[in-house]
Structure 1
Amino acid sequence: MELFSFYNVENLFLPDPPPKHKLDPTISGLRNWDEKRYKNKLFKISHVFQLMKEKNGNLPFIIGLSEVSGRKVLEDLVQLEPFNSQYGIVHYNSMDERKVDVAMLYDKDKIEVIDSETITYFFEIIDKNTENYDTTRDVLYSKVKYKGAVLNIFIAHLPSKREKDVNRPKRAFILSEIRGRILSLLDKDKEHVILCGDFNENPDDENLKKILFDDSQIKVLENPFEALFSARKYSTFHYKSGLLFDQIILSKSLFDGDAVLCFEKAGIFNSEKIRSRNRNFEGRPFRTYAGTRYLGGYSDHFPVFVEFTGL
């Protein structure tokens, strides 16, 4: 059995230099973020995967991450238990205005990275008072080998829902571009595709439905998180609404019993230990910040995972 996981870790930043004035925001936007809080955050994130290992018997062989800031935080993370420096890192700095990126961790004993690159998007801004383009978080693409099989992995953190969802066309454009890349890969023999991320849309949203089909409306991808969302299983929350923005989408080849990896089940890792202790937020993730108030938790998202059986 092998696990593949994705986790939005909620602002994993290095400690900022002290602000010049108490009213100035820190670089990360996290009030009073310091070395002690940073180390607690690292411990919390590593502890999530220790809990996952205890429950499932092993660590995910590949982990997609979002909301990490720079390579150094990843290097610090993989030194801790349960990773113990046995995990490699694929990361590139993006042009996101908040300096948050996506990244991939992988078990060096199981995975060989063949190639990787970022897919960067620029969007024109129609506003004379701003720069003439807007950037968002890169999509990370990695081609890896596992037991002779090639996995094409896309890790995304799409533009957020805000201001009456002005970013929806951006998400639609990015997903359309990713879909085109995936369709070109699916023609290759013995290659599989995994698309994971925080899509800032639920599995039943039109943008995520469209990506599952080719130009002939033949279904080429499966989203096992559709069933979880229908069953009211959520990875994050906004006010009273439960959301399943975090998903892992798979090529249909990964449902073939003769494949080196075969889909078994999908899930949301919402262990009691990483849930909120506040009765008003029962069942929700125990987050690091609520606005500018430090809570000291793990993340405002639960990690999601897919379990595979293997040959």
Structure 2
Amino acid sequence: MELFSFYNVENLFLPDPEPRHKLDPTISGLRNWDERKYKNKLHKIAHVFQLIKEQNDFLPFIIGLSEVSGREVLEDLIQLEPFNSEYGIVHYNSKDERKVDVALLYDKNKVELIDSEAITFFFENNNKNTENYDTTRDVLYSVLKYKDEVINVFTAHLPSKREKDINRPKRIFILNQIRDRILNLVNAGEHVILCGDFNENPDDENLVKILYGNSQEKVLENPFQQLFSTGNYSTFHYKSGLLFDQIMLSESFFKDDGILSFQNAGIFRCEKISSHDKKFEGRPFRTYSGTRYLGGYSDHFPVYVTLGKV
């Protein structure tokens, strides 16, 4: 049995250097993001996976991450327990304006990295005072080998819904491009996993469309549709529960003859990583609330799927 997980870790930045002037903007955009807070954040994220290990008796063999800034934070993370430098890193610096990327960690004792690619997107910008194009976070494409199975993993963090969802056309474009790649792989009989923070819920039109091929044949399954329909959420916006964090799998994972057959999906909502404030009971214990430092884990819960023979 194996776990595949995805976790939006909320602004994992290196400590900010001391600004020359108090009003100068920081690299992280966070208030007073220093060495102490950075190390606390690393230990908090590592502790989440320790808790996952305690619950399941093993760690996820593949972990998708979002909101990480640079490779160095990942190298610092995997040195800690429970990773103990036994995990490999797949990461590329994207052209995101906030310098946050997606990444993949994998258990080097179980998984071999065959290939990887950063899929970069450019969008026309009509603002004459800036560059003539907009960029966003890359989608990370990784090809991994587990035993005799090759797994194609796409890790995404799609543009946000800020400013009355001005970024929706970008999300549509990115998902259409990824869908074309997925169709080619599925038609060739390959295993595919698409994971990420999609900034859309499982029942949104874009995320329903990506599950189907050109002839309306089912190519991906999204087990998080059922979780969302029964009121299970990975993050919140004001009073609204959201399930933006999802893992979708090709139909090949739903056959009984494979080494990695789908068993179940879930949201890791452990009490220890949940808010201590009764007003926000059942929500993630986040690192910041606006500019106020809380010292928590993340504003998202991790999500996971269990794979393997029963």
For 2:294, the equivalent position in structure 1 comes to: 295
For 1:249, the equivalent position in structure 2 comes to: 248
Partner deviation per Cα, 1:176-203 (whole Å, 9 max, x = no partner) = 00000000001223x2000000000000
Distance 1:161 1:220 in 2: 27
Structure 1: stretches of 5+ with no match in the other structure: none
For 1:73, the equivalent position in structure 2 comes to: 73
For 2:259, the equivalent position in structure 1 comes to: 260
For 1:280, the equivalent position in structure 2 comes to: 279
For 1:213, the equivalent position in structure 2 comes to: 212
Structure 2: stretches of 5+ with no match in the other structure: none
| 3-state SS of 1:164 partner | helix
| 3-state SS of 2:163 partner | coil
For 2:194, the equivalent position in structure 1 comes to: 195
Following superposition, the deviation at residue 24 of structure 1 comes to: 2.6
For 1:62, the equivalent position in structure 2 comes to: 62
Contact in 2 for aligned 1:25/1:31 (Cα 8 Å): no
Distance 1:184 1:227 in 2: 27
Please report the TM-score for the alignment, with normalisation by the length of structure 2. 0.99
Distance 1:25 1:124 in 2: 27
Distance 1:148 1:114 in 2: 13
| Number of residue equivalences | 310
Distance 2:8 2:131 in 1: 29
Distance 1:16 1:157 in 2: 23
For 1:304, the equivalent position in structure 2 comes to: 303
Contact in 2 for aligned 1:3/1:307 (Cα 8 Å): yes
For 1:26, the equivalent position in structure 2 comes to: 26
For 1:89, the equivalent position in structure 2 comes to: 89
Following superposition, the deviation at residue 25 of structure 1 comes to: 2.8
RMSD: 0.8
| 3-state SS of 1:40 partner | helix
Distance 1:69 1:40 in 2: 16
| 3-state SS of 2:164 partner | coil
For 1:182, the equivalent position in structure 2 comes to: 182
| 3-state SS of 1:185 partner | helix
Amino acid at match of 1:220: V
Distance 1:49 1:95 in 2: 29
Distance 2:281 2:256 in 1: 39
Distance 1:31 1:6 in 2: 27
Amino acid at match of 1:24: D
For 1:3, the equivalent position in structure 2 comes to: 3
For 1:116, the equivalent position in structure 2 comes to: 116
Following superposition, the deviation at residue 20 of structure 1 comes to: 2.0
Following superposition, the deviation at residue 271 of structure 1 comes to: 0.1
Contact in 2 for aligned 1:2/1:310 (Cα 8 Å): no
Amino acid at match of 2:65: L
Distance 2:263 2:66 in 1: 25
Partner deviation per Cα, 1:229-283 (whole Å, 9 max, x = no partner) = 0011000000000000000000010011111100000000010000000111110
